[in-house]
Amino acid sequence: MWKNLEPFVQTKDGSHFDFLPDLPETSYGHCLTIIDETRFLVAGGGLSSVYIYDGNEAEWNDVGVLPNGIGSYPACGVIKDQDNGQALKVVIAGGLFGSDDYGVDIYNLERNEWQDAGLHMKFTN
């Protein structure tokens, strides 16, 4: 289990819920973004890698580490094709605790590869 943290649950109809398999690592303060009807991505929050959950296979897939690294509480979101709504990329940015300068990373879902967006988010007190 997750060392006192709640596991992920899923629902397909809003009424019946099922537990997902445990995330391979303990996490807190992560971001989660829905890719499509069967997949979502989890990043940050103490995870050493980024994971995509595949509902068709009922498993977590390690998709590697972020080029710029990341702390807890990042933001993440999906870039979709304007015409057909298909998810193309996932953007992960920011974070807290560990650095005051985080890069912006993009995961290309078609190529299964990371790229550095060349942007940085600076945090000051």
pLDDT digits 0-9 by tens, 27-52: 778 899 999 999 999 998 778 899 99
CA–CA distance, 82 with 109 (Å, rounded to integer):
16
Mean pLDDT value of segment 64-92: 89
Query: 72: number of CA atoms within 13 Å, CB side?
Result: 8
In this predicted structure, what is the pLDDT of residue 62?
96
pTM of the model: 0.81
What DSSP string describes 40-99? EEEEETT-SS-EEEETTTTEEEE----TT---BS-EEEEEE-TTT--EEEEEEE--BSS-
